[in-house]
C-alpha cells in the first residue's frame, strides 16, 4: 500500500470520509491503491497528475466515456488507463438496492469499483477503467437495462427533480418528461453531432430543486396560472403557532403571517387582517414564498404547465448565463410531444447556425432573439424580458413595413 | 455472447418506486420536516412516506454502496434515492422503523441532515481524483469544509438554506455560479506553450479561437507551427488547454481558491442570482485548506448574525449592500473584484446609493 | 477696433446675483412651494426669496427675451435665471410684488408652473429648425404635447414629478435616455450611399469604423472608392452620416417617433434608471403629431391612476412589472422591444418572476 | 412673408408658441422669414432641409460654432449660412436683464435674433448667422464679457445646478466649482484636441437637478457622510399635518411619516414610533427621499463633499451609459484644485489611450477599471460597484504577487 500521510488526515472528522472508504477498497483493488498514491502526490505537489483526456469510447457511440491517463503511469500502473463511464441515471435518481447491486457487481468486475452517485449532470458515474474493459462493461450493464449517458458535443443526460414521486408541488410530471425526452433523444445523446453540449432539466415548480435555471440549455420549470388555493383555517393555525413555519424546516417556533409571509411577498400582492389571507393573484409572480412558508395552508392553482427557459451554462466563454423565459406557459402531458418538437426545432436551428463550441444561449445572444424566435416559430412576449431595451438600436424588416401597410399599429392594439 | 444492445436509454424510474410512492404518485398533499434530516410526506389517501436524508461524500466505493443497500434493505424494503445534491434518501414507509434506522445510521457514521435551514451537501466535482484541469482537489476541500460546518448539517439553525458548491476549475462543472457560497479552483499563470507537442497535437486555428480574450496569436516564427500567448491579456481560464493539451497552466504556488458568494437558484422571494467574487485568492493548502475553511466559517457566522429571518445569503448582502459585506466580513476589496469582462458595465454603481 | 479678446470664459455668476441671494449665498435653510410655479426659499437670516417659474419654448427671439427682461425689471430688480430644464425663474425679493407679477404673466400668456408633482418643460433639441440629422421636428412636437398636457404644468396633481424629454435623432442630445417619458425621433432606412460625393467628402476607414454593427464595407468595385452597406445589419443609428455626409438616411414615411419610458435621474428612493422602449414607432405627423400626443396622454393617465403616492413612472412600472405596463397601456409587445444590442443579456428574464 | 399653413396651427394652444414668436421677428428679419419658410417645407415633406454641417469658426478657436447651410439656398437665401454660436453661460444660468439685453443687441446686429435659452449642454445658443459675422459677433460679445462655449472633440461648457445660490441642500459650491473648472480648461474648451467631447457637470446633492449622472463624462454630486440632522418637533408637525409634505409640491394634504417616509426609505434604516424619528445613519445611502419629503425637519449632515462619477454619455456607440462612482467622497473648496488635478490626470490618460470618438466611459470599459484607476492614482473601492464581478475571469499582475510575498492576504485585512 502507498503511504498517504496527507490524505490520512482526511480520515478524521464527522463528515463521511472518502479516504476511509477508498482505503477499504484499496486493500482489494490495486488501481485504487494507485489512485490514493497519485492523489497523495497531488496533495504534496498541489498539481493534477492526469493527462489531458484522450478520445475513447464504445462501439458506435461517440460519447459517455471520458478518457483519462495518468502522467505517472510507471509509478501508478493501475492508472495508466483510468476512464470514466457515465451511466444515464433513472429519472429522480430512484433505485432499488437490487439495481444498485447489479451495477456494483459489474463495476467490480470491469472497473475500479469507484462510483460517483452522481455526477453533476446527474449521471451515475463509474470512475476508472481501462480501454479494453469499456465495451464488455457497457454490454454487461446494457443487459441489466442500463445505457451510457452523454458527453462531448451531444445531448446530455437530462435530469429532473423528485417531482410527483414525492413532492406536493410538482406542476407536471418531471420524471416522465425527463424519461420521455431522454428516450427520444437517444441518438443525439450517444452520437455527438451538435455544436456543443445540450442539457435539459426539469423542475416541478419555481423552487427549482434541480437548478434548471442555472445549468440547462433548455430549462423546464413547472408553473400555475390561476389562483393559489388558500385554506384559511390552516393559515390561522400557522398564525396561532399550531403549525410550524415551513413544515418545521426553520429555527423559528412560530410564523408571523404578516411579517414573514405578506411583507416578504416580492410583489406585495398579499394582505392579512388577522383573519383572512387575500391574494391578488393577477399580480402574483409565482415565487412560491408564501406556499413554502405555509405548505399546509397554500397550494399552487390547478391550471398547470411549464415555463420553458433557455440558455444557461457555465462561464466558458462569454461568462455564465442563466436561462431566460422563452415560453411562459405550455400545457404538457405524456408523452410530451410538444416539448420534444420544440426541442427539435431549437436544436435544428442551433446545429445550423452555431459555431463550434457555441452554446445555444450564446448563439441566441449573437444572432438576436428575433432571429431565434422566428426560426422556432414563437411569438415575442414581454415575459421574456425583465425590462425592454434601453438603447434605441433596433431593426425593422420588410415584413414589419408590410404589416404596417396592412394596418398594424404599435401604440395601440385597436 | 449475448446480442449487443444499444440506445435503450436509462431504466424507467417506475421500476424503482416503492409501492407507497407508486400508489400516491402525483397525489402528495403536504410535507413536514419532523426533525433535521427526516421528511414526512402525506398523500391525499392519507398514506405517508418518510425520507431520511443522509450525507454522502458522493464518491463511493462499491463497498460503501453495498453498505447503503444493506441499510435500505433493512428499513426501506430496498427503496432509496439520491438527491440533486448527492445526498441519499432512505424511503421509509413504516414509521416504526425510523428510530432503529436512526440508531443504525449513527452507529455506521452515516449522518442524517441537509434539510431545511441547514447546510446540505456540497455539490462538487472531480478535482485531483479524476480531472486534467483542476487547480485544487474537490473531495478533500469538501470534507474539510463539511467537517468544520458539521453542526449546521444536522440542524436547522440558519436564517435560511445555505448551499455551498465547489468547482475545481473555471469550467465550473456544477451550478457553482449560483450558490450561496461557491468554492472555486483558480489558476493564475498563463499557459506555457510546448511548441513541440503543439505542432503535433493541436489545430492552430481552433486553439487561437478558443481564447476569449484574443490572447493567443500564431507564433511569429512560422516554421514552429505554434502559437504565442500575450500574457497581459490572459486571465487563466484554461480554455486553450481544453482545446490543446500542449498549453498547460498549472502552478502549485499560484493556483488557489477563490470564493464567490450570494448566488441562488430558487425563485423563492427573490429571483435566481449569480454568486459574486468575495475573495479572489486563498492559498491552496492540502490536506485541510485551513484558510478556506476559516474564511467560509467567518462569512457564514456573519451571515447568521446579520441576516433577517428567512433571508438567503444573497438577500442579506443585497439588503446591506456589498460594501457592507466586505466590511463586516473583514475582506479587503481589490481590483480583482471589479468586473472588467464583457458585461462589466452592469455591475458599476451608477447612483449615489452607497454607504460609507 | 478694440483689442482682440479670447479665452476669458463666461462672466462670473456673482455679477448676476441679486442682493438677497448674494447675502444669503449658501445659507438657505428651507423651501416651500407656496403654489404651483412659486418657490419660497428662506435663509438663516430669515431673508426670503420667491422664484416664479415660467414656461419657455426655449427657442426665443430677442423680442421675447426683451419682453422677459421687461417683466424682470418691473418685479425683480432685473434679476432672473433659467433652469436646467429651460424654464425661466423671476427672482422676487419683495413678496408684495407676487400678485401683480402673476397678473402680468397671465396677461402676457406666460404660464407659471413646472414645480413639484407637475409636468415641467420638455427638454428638447433642434429638430428641423437647425439640425442635419433629425427624424422629426423638436419644437413642434414639444408644443403639441405641452398644449395637450397643459393642465399638468401649472398644478401638482400627479403622484410625482414627470419629466418628459425629446431628442430628434439617436444622438439623443439632452438626457432623454433617463426620462420618465422620452420622445425620440427614429430613422428606419439604411443610408443611401452617394458614391460620387463619398469619394470626395469622406475618409473610407473612418466611415467604416463609424458603424457600430460593422454594416459598412469597402465597395467591392475598388475604382469607386466608396462603401456598401449591409442593409440587414443596419439599425439606422446615423453615425455613418455624422462622419460622412454622403450617406443620408432620411425617409419621410419611414421616419417617426419612438417612445421610451421609465427613466429617472435623481437618487430619490430609487437609483437613476434608463428609459426603456415602450412604443417602437409612431408615424411622423406634423404639425401636431396627434398619435404621439394621444399615446403620451394614455401612458400618463394610466400612470396617474395606477401609481402609489410619490411613485415616479419608473417606480410604478418596476413595481407592477413591464408585462403589466404593456397590458394596462394597451401597447403591443413586439420583437423591437427585446434587446439585441451589446448588453442585451442583462434585460432577459432569468427567473420565474413574471405575471400572466 | 412665406406662407406657413402648417406652422400656423402651432400658434394656438396654451403653451407659449415659438411660431408666434418667430413670426414677430420674421417681419423684421428676412432670414427669420426664410427659416419659417424652410421649416414649413420640412413640415410638409417630413424631412430636414439642413445640409451636413461644415467646419467654420472664429480665429484661433476650433470649437463653439456649428456650421449650418440650407439645402434650398435659392428659395431661402437668408439661410445660405445659418451657423450656431454657442456662448458659454454663467454658472447656474443667472442673469441680469442688462446682460441679456447686451447679448440681444449684439445678436440683433450680427445674427438672426434667435436664441436658445439654453442648449442642452447649457450654453446660451445664438441660432443663425453668416460666416462673415462670426468673428465680429464674437469680439463684440467678448468685449461685453462673454466667451464662446465648447463643441467638437473638446472640453464642453461645464454646467451646474442652482446650488448654494438658492438651494438649502447644496453640499458644495456648485457654481464656483463650475466657474473655476470652466476657467481652468479654457484652452481645451476652445481648441479641440481630445479624442471626443468631455463634459463636466456639478449637482449639489443626490437629487441631481442638472442630470449630471446621465450626461457628463465626469459628474460631481454633493454628498454628506455623517448623520442626517433631525428636528423632531418639525417631524411631528409633518405627522400632524401642520407642515405640508415636500414643501407643498404634492396633491396630498398630509404626510404619513410611517407610510410615506419610513416605509419608502430604500435601505429600511429609519423608524418612527409616532414620537421620535430614528435613522441608522451607517446604513443610510443618501437617497434624499426623507429629506425631500420633510425639508423643514431633516437636513443633510455637516461633513460634506462630492462624489465623483465617470462615464455617462448618449447611446452612440456602445449604448447609453450613466456615470458610475469613482471617488465616493472628496472634500472640496475653492479653487477646487483637487478636482482640477484629477480631471487633468483623467484627460491625459484618455487623450493618450482613447480612440477617435471614444468617450472616456467607453475607454474605461475597454481597458478596464484597474488600468484606469492605476493610471489616475485612485484605489479600488466597493462603492464603485453595485456588485462585484460574477465571472471568474480576472487578472493578476506581478505587483500583486510581490505584495503577496510581502504578506498581503485577500481573505482578511489582518
Ligand atoms: C464529471 C463532471 C463533474 C463531476 O464531478 O460531477 C464533469 C466533468 C468534466 N467536465 Fe463538466 N462535468 C460535469 C458536469 C458539468 C456541469 C453541471 C451540469 O451539467 O449540470 C457543468 C455546468 C453546466 C454547463 O453545462 O454549462 C459543466 C461545465 C463544463 C464545462 C464548461 C461549459 C461552459 O459552457 O461553460 C466544460 C468545458 C468543456 O466543455 O470543454 C466541462 C468539461 C468537463 C470535463 C470533460 C473536462 C474537459 O475539459 O474536457 C470534465 C471531465 C472530468 C473527468 O475526468 O471525469 N464541463 N460540467 C460532471 C458530469 C458528470 C455527469 O455526467 O453527471
Ligand atoms: C430532494 C431535493 C430534490 C431532488 O430531486 O433531489 C429537494 C427536496 C425538497 N425541496 Fe428543494 N430539494 C432539493 C434541492 C434543491 C435545490 C437545488 C440545489 O440546492 O442545488 C434548490 C435550489 C437552491 C437554491 O436556491 O440555491 C432547492 C430549493 C428549494 C426551496 C427554495 C428555498 C429558498 O428559500 O430559496 C424549497 C422551499 C422550502 O424549502 O421551503 C424547497 C423545498 C423542497 C421540499 C420541501 C419539497 C417538498 O415539498 O418535498 C423538499 C424537502 C426540502 C428540504 O430538504 O428541506 N427546495 N431545493 C433536493 C435535495 C438536495 C439535498 O440533498 O440537499
Ligand atoms: C431649478 C432646478 C435646478 C436648476 O439649477 O435649474 C431645480 C430646483 C429644485 N429641485 Fe430639482 N430642479 C431642477 C431640475 C431637476 C432635475 C433635472 C431634470 O429634470 O432634468 C431633476 C432630476 C429629475 C429626474 O430624476 O429625472 C430634479 C430632481 C429633484 C428632486 C428629486 C425628485 C424625485 O423624487 O425623483 C427633488 C426633490 C423633491 O422634489 O422633493 C428636487 C428638488 C428641487 C428643489 C426643491 C430644491 C430646493 O430646495 O430648492 C427645487 C425646486 C423643485 C421644484 O421645482 O419642485 N429636484 N430636479 C431645476 C428646475 C427644472 C425645471 O425647470 O423644471
Ligand atoms: C445644440 C444641442 C441640442 C440642443 O438643441 O440643445 C446639440 C446639438 C447637436 N449635437 Fe448634441 N447637442 C447638444 C447637447 C447634447 C447633449 C446633452 C448634454 O450635453 O448635456 C448630449 C448627450 C450627452 C452626451 O454628451 O452624450 C448630446 C449628444 C450628442 C451626440 C452623441 C454623443 C454620444 O456619445 O452618444 C452627438 C453625435 C456626435 O457627437 O457626433 C451630438 C451631435 C450634435 C450635433 C453637433 C450634430 C452632429 O451630428 O454633429 C448637433 C448640432 C445641432 C445644431 O445644428 O446646432 N450630440 N448633445 C446641444 C448643445 C447646446 C449647448 O452647447 O448647450
Ligand atoms: S422543484 Fe418544486 S416540485 Fe420539484 S422537488 Fe422541488 S419543490 Fe418539489
Ligand atoms: S407566490 Fe410569491 S408572489 Fe405569489 S402571492 Fe405568494 S409570496 Fe406573493
Ligand atoms: S470543474 Fe474543471 S477541473 Fe473540475 S471536474 Fe470540471 S472541468 Fe474538471
Ligand atoms: S488561459 Fe484562457 S485567456 Fe489565457 S491564453 Fe488560454 S484561453 Fe486565453
Ligand atoms: S438629437 Fe440629433 S437631430 Fe436632434 S439636435 Fe441632436 S444631433 Fe441634431
Ligand atoms: S446607420 Fe448606423 S448601423 Fe446603419 S450603416 Fe450607418 S452607422 Fe451602420
Ligand atoms: S441638485 Fe440638490 S443642491 Fe442642486 S438644486 Fe437640486 S436639490 Fe438643490
Ligand atoms: S436619505 Fe434615503 S436612505 Fe437615508 S434615511 Fe433618508 S430615506 Fe433612508
pLDDT digits (tens, 9 = 90+) for C221-257: 999 999 999 999 999 999 999 999 999 999 999 999 9
Q: Is the pLDDT of residue A2 over 70?
A: yes
* D92–C13 C-beta distance less than 8 A: yes
The contact set of C with B (CB < 8 A) is 267, 271-272, 343, 345-346, 350-353
ipTM confidence: 0.97
- Residue C265 pLDDT greater than 90, yes or no: yes
Tell me, in angstroms, the distance from the centre of ligand 9 to residue C316's CA.
30
Question: pLDDT, tens digit, for every residue of B209-242?
Answer: 999 999 999 999 999 999 999 999 999 999 999 9
Whole-number Å distance between alpha carbons of D334 and D357: 32
Q: How far is the CA of D261 from the centre of ligand 3 (A)?
A: 19
Same fold, A5-143 and A229-299: yes
- Chain D residues with CB under 8 Å of C63 CB are 21, 24-25, 113
Considering only CB atoms, which chain B residues are within 8 Å of C355? none
Say how many CA atoms lie within 13 Å of A65 toward its Cβ.
26
Residues 6+ apart with CB under 8 A from D356: C206, D195, D196
- Return d(Cα B65, Cα A124) in angstroms, integer: 12
Instruction: Measure CA B217 to chain center.
Output: 34
Q: What is the pLDDT of residues C24-40, one digit of tens each?
A: 999 999 999 999 999 99
Q: Which of the four pLDDT bands, split at 50, 70 and 90, describes residue D317?
A: confident
Smallest CA–CA distance from B31 into chain A, residue: A247
CA-closest residue to ligand 1 atom 21: B173
Query: Tens of pLDDT along B307-333?
Result: 999 999 999 999 999 999 999 999 999
10 Å CB burial of residue A405 (0-12, 13-18, 19+) is exposed
pLDDT tens-place string over residues A193-233: 999 999 999 999 999 999 999 999 999 999 999 999 999 99
Please list every residue in chain A whose beta carbon sits closer than 8 Å to the beta carbon of residue D391.
Answer: 315, 319-320
Q: Identify the H or E element spanning A6.
A: helix A5-8
CB-CB under 8 Å, A324 with C349: yes
Percentage of chain D exceeding pLDDT 70: 100
What integer is the mean pLDDT of B151-156? 98
How many angstroms separate the CA atoms of D278 and D258, rounded?
A: 12
pLDDT reading at B175 higher than 80: no
Q: Cell 479641440 sits at which residue?
A: D192
List pLDDT tens digits, range C289-309: 999 999 999 999 999 999 999
CATH 3.30.70.20, domain D229-299, yes or no: yes
Is the pLDDT at C112 greater than 90, yes or no? yes
Contact assignment for D6 to C173 by CB distance below 8 Å: no
> Please, what CATH class does the domain formed by D5-143 belong to?
alpha beta
pLDDT at A414: 77
Least Cα distance to D393 among C61, C256, B237, B350 occurs for B237
The burial of C244, by beta-carbon neighbours within 10 Å (0-12 exposed, 13-18 middle, 19 or more buried), is given as buried
CATH number attached to the domain at A159-225+303-405: 3.30.413.10
Give strand ranges (E) for A77-188: 83-87, 94-96, 114-117, 124-129, 159-160
pTM exceeding 0.95: yes
Ligand 7 atom index nearest CA of B126: 5
Contact B172 D392 (CB under 8 A): yes
Among the ranges given (A317-321, B41-45, D180-184, D341-345), the one the predictor scored with the smallest mean pLDDT: A317-321
The structural domains of chain A, with segments of one domain joined by +, span 5-143, 159-225+303-405, 229-299
Interface probe with D: pick from A214, A268, A313, A391, most Cβ of D within 10 Å: A391
A268 touches chain C (CB under 8 A): yes
Contacts of A392 in chain D (CB under 8 A): 315
B1 has a pLDDT exceeding 60:
no
Pocket of ligand 2 (CB under 6 A): A 161-162, 167-169, 207-209, 211, 246, 249, 292; B 31, 33, 39, 53, 83-85, 87, 114-116, 120-121, 123, 160-161, 163, 175, 264-266, 268, 312
CA of D168, closest atom in ligand 3: 48
Going by the DSSP 8-state scheme, the letter that residue A260 receives in this structure is I
Q: List residues near ligand 11 (CB under 6 A).
A: D 161-163, 167, 169-170, 203-205, 207-209
Which ligand 1 atom sits closest to the C-alpha of A86? 62
Contacts of B352 in chain C (CB under 8 A): 267, 271
Task: Provide the pairing of β-strand D159-160 with A298-299.
Answer: unpaired
Rounded Cα–Cα distance for residues A410 and A402 (Å): 13
Q: What is the pLDDT of residues D21-78, one digit of tens each?
A: 999 999 999 999 999 999 999 999 999 999 987 889 999 999 999 999 999 999 999 9
pLDDT mean over B106-120 = 98
CA angle at residue C232 from C226 to C237, to 5 degrees?
75
- The answer to whether the Cα torsion of C314, C318, C322, C328 is positive or negative is negative
Residue in the structure block whose three cell numbers are 436564517: B159
Contact criterion met (CB < 8 Å) for C9 and D173: no
The answer to whether B11 faces chain A, any CB pair under 8 Å, is yes
- What average pLDDT does this structure show over C322-329? 98
Does residue A289 have its Cβ closer than 6 Å to ligand 1? no
Separation of first and last alpha carbons in chain C: 75
Q: B287, exposed or middle or buried, with CB in 10 Å at 0-12, 13-18, 19+?
A: buried
Please state the rounded mean pLDDT for residues D222-234: 98
In the reported structure, the alpha carbon of residue C203 is separated from the centroid of ligand 10 by a whole-number distance in angstroms of: 15
Q: Does B276 touch chain D if contact means CB atoms closer than 8 Å? A: yes
A15-24 pLDDT, tens digit per residue, is 999 999 999 9
| Cβ-based burial of B80 (10 A; exposed 0-12, middle 13-18, buried ≥19) | buried
Residues with Cβ within 8 Å of residue C208, at least 6 apart in sequence = C216, C217, C218, C227
Using CA atoms, how far residue B354 sits from B323, B348, C312, in Å, is 8, 12, 21
Dist CA C180 CA C158 (whole Å): 13
Pocket lined around ligand 12, Cβ cut-off 6 Å: D 265-267, 269-270, 279, 284-291
At D16, is the secondary structure helix, strand, or coil? coil
The DSSP H or E segment spanning C48 is strand C48-54
| pLDDT tens-place string over residues A331-375 | 999 999 999 999 999 999 999 999 999 999 999 999 999 999 999
**Burial (CB count within 10 angstroms: exposed 0-12, middle 13-18, buried 19+), residue B221:** exposed
C-alpha of residue C84 to centroid of ligand 11, in Å: 11
pLDDT of residue A54: 80
pLDDT for C1: 54
Give C167's contacts in chain D (Cβ within 8 Å).
314
For residue C109, is pLDDT > 60?
Answer: yes
CA nearest to B142, candidates B201, B224, B85, B80: B85
Residue of chain A whose alpha carbon sits nearest to that of D393: A319
Give contacts of D314 with chain C, Cβ < 8 Å: 167, 171-173, 177
pLDDT tens digits for range A59-115: 999 999 999 999 999 999 999 999 999 999 999 999 999 999 999 999 999 999 999
Amino acid at each position: 500500500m502507498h503511504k498517504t500521510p496527507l490524505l490520512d488526515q482526511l480520515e478524521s472528522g464527522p463528515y463521511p470520509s472518502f479516504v476511509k472508504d477508498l482505503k477499504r477498497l484499496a486493500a482489494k483493488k490495486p488501481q485504487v491503491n494507485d489512485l490514493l498514491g497519485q492523489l497523495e502526490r497531488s496533495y504534496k505537489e498541489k498539481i493534477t497528475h492526469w493527462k489531458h483526456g484522450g478520445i475513447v469510447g464504445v462501439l458506435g457511440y461517440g460519447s459517455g466515456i471520458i478518457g483519462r491517463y495518468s502522467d505517472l503511469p510507471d509509478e501508478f500502473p493501475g492508472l495508466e488507463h483510468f476512464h470514466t463511464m457515465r451511466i444515464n441515471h433513472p429519472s429522480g435518481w430512484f433505485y432499488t438496492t437490487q439495481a444498485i447491486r447489479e451495477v456494483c457487481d459489474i463495476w467490480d468486475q470491469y472497473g475500479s469499483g469507484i462510483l460517483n452517485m452522481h455526477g453533476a449532470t446527474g449521471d451515475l458515474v463509474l470512475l476508472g477503467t481501462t480501454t479494453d474493459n469499456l465495451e464488455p462493461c457497457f454490454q454487461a450493464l446494457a443487459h441489466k437495462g442500463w445505457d451510457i449517458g452523454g458527453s462531448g458535443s451531444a445531448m446530455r443526460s437530462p435530469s429532473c427533480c423528485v417531482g410527483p414521486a414525492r413532492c406536493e408541488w410538482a406542476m407536471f410530471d418531471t420524471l416522465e418528461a425527463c424519461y420521455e425526452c431522454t428516450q427520444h433523444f437517444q441518438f443525439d445523446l450517444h452520437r455527438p453531432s451538435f455544436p456543443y453540449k445540450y442539457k435539459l432539466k426539469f423542475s416541478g415548480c419555481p423552487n427549482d430543486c434541480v437548478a434548471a435555471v442555472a445549468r440547462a440549455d433548455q430549462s423546464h420549470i413547472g408553473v400555475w396560472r390561476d389562483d393559489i388555493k388558500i385554506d384559511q383555517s390552516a393559515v390561522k393555525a400557522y398564525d396561532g403557532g399550531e403549525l410550524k413555519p415551513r413544515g418545521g424546516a426553520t429555527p423559528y417556533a412560530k410564523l408571523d403571517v404578516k411579517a414573514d409571509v405578506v411583507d416578504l411577498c416580492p410583489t406585495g400582492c398579499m394582505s392579512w387582517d388577522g383573519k383572512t389571507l387575500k391574494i391578488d393573484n393577477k399580480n402574483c409572480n409565482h415565487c412560491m414564498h408564501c406556499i413554502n412558508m405555509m405548505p399546509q395552508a397554500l397550494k399552487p392553482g390547478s391550471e398547470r404547465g411549464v415555463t420553458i427557459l433557455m440558455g444557461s451554462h457555465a462561464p466558458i466563454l462569454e461568462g455564465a448565463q442563466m436561462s431566460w423565459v422563452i415560453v411562459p406557459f405550455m400545457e404538457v402531458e405524456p408523452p410530451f410531444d410538444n416539448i420534444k418538437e420544440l426541442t427539435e426545432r431549437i436544436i435544428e436551428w442551433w446545429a445550423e447556425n452555431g459555431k463550434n463550441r457555441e452554446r445555444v444561449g450564446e448563439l441566441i445572444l449573437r444572432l438576436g432573439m428575433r432571429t431565434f424566435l422566428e426560426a422556432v416559430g414563437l411569438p415575442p412576449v414581454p415575459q421574456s424580458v425583465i425590462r425592454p431595451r434601453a438603447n434605441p438600436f433596433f431593426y425593422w424588416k420588410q415584413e414589419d413595413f408590410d404589416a404596417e401597410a396592412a394596418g398594424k399599429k404599435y401604440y395601440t392594439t385597436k | 455472447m449475448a446480442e449487443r444492445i444499444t440506445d435503450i436509454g436509462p431504466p424507467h424510474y417506475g421500476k424503482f418506486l416503492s409501492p407507497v410512492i407508486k400508489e400516491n404518485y402525483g397525489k402528495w398533499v403536504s410535507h413536514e420536516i419532523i426533525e433535521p434530516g427526516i421528511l414526512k410526506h402525506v398523500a391525499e389517501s392519507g398514506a405517508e412516506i418518510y425520507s431520511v436524508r443522509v450525507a454522502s461524500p458522493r464518491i463511493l466505493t462499491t463497498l460503501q454502496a453495498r453498505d447503503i443497500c444493506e441499510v435500505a434493505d433493512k428499513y426501506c424494503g430496498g427503496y432509496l434515492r439520491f438527491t440533486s445534491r448527492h445526498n441519499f434518501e432512505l424511503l421509509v414507509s413504516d414509521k416504526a422503523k425510523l428510530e432503529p434506522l436512526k440508531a443504525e445510521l449513527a452507529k455506521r457514521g452515516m449522518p442524517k441532515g441537509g434539510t431545511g435551514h441547514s447546510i446540505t451537501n456540497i455539490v462538487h466535482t472531480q478535482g485531483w481524483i479524476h480531472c486534467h484541469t483542476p487547480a485544487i482537489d474537490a473531495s478533500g476541500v469538501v470534507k474539510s469544509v463539511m467537517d468544520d460546518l458539521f453542526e449546521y448539517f444536522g440542524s436547522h439553525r440558519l436564517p435560511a438554506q445555505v448551499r455551498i458548491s465547489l468547482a475545481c476549475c473555471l469550467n465550473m462543472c456544477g451550478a457553482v455560479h449560483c450558490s450561496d457560497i461557491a468554492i472555486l479552483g483558480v489558476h493564475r499563470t498563463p499557459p506555457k506553450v510546448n511548441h513541440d507537442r503543439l505542432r503535433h497535437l493541436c489545430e492552430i486555428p481552433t486553439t487561437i479561437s478558443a481564447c476569449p480574450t484574443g490572447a493567443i496569436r500564431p507564433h511569429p516564427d512560422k516554421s514552429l507551427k505554434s502559437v504565442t500567448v500575450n500574457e497581459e491579456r490572459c486571465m487563466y481560464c484554461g480554455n486553450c488547454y481544453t482545446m490543446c493539451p500542449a498549453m498547460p497552466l498549472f502552478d502549485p504556488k499560484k493556483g488557489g481558491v477563490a470564493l464567490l458568494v450570494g448566488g441562488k437558484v430558487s425563485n423563492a422571494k427573490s429571483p435566481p442570482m449569480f454568486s459574486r467574487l468575495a475573495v479572489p485568492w486563498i492559498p491552496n493548502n492540502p490536506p485541510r485548506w485551513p484558510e478556506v475553511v476559516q474564511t467560509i466559517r467567518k462569512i457564514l457566522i456573519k451571515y447568521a448574525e446579520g441576516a433577517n429571518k428567512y433571508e438567503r445569503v444573497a438577500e442579506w448582502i443585497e439588503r446591506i449592500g456589498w460594501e457592507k459585506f466586505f466590511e463586516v466580513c473583514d475582506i479587503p476589496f481589490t481590483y480583482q473584484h471589479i468586473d472588467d469582462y464583457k458585461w462589466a458595465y452592469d455591475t458599476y454603481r451608477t447612483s449615489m446609493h452607497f454607504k460609507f
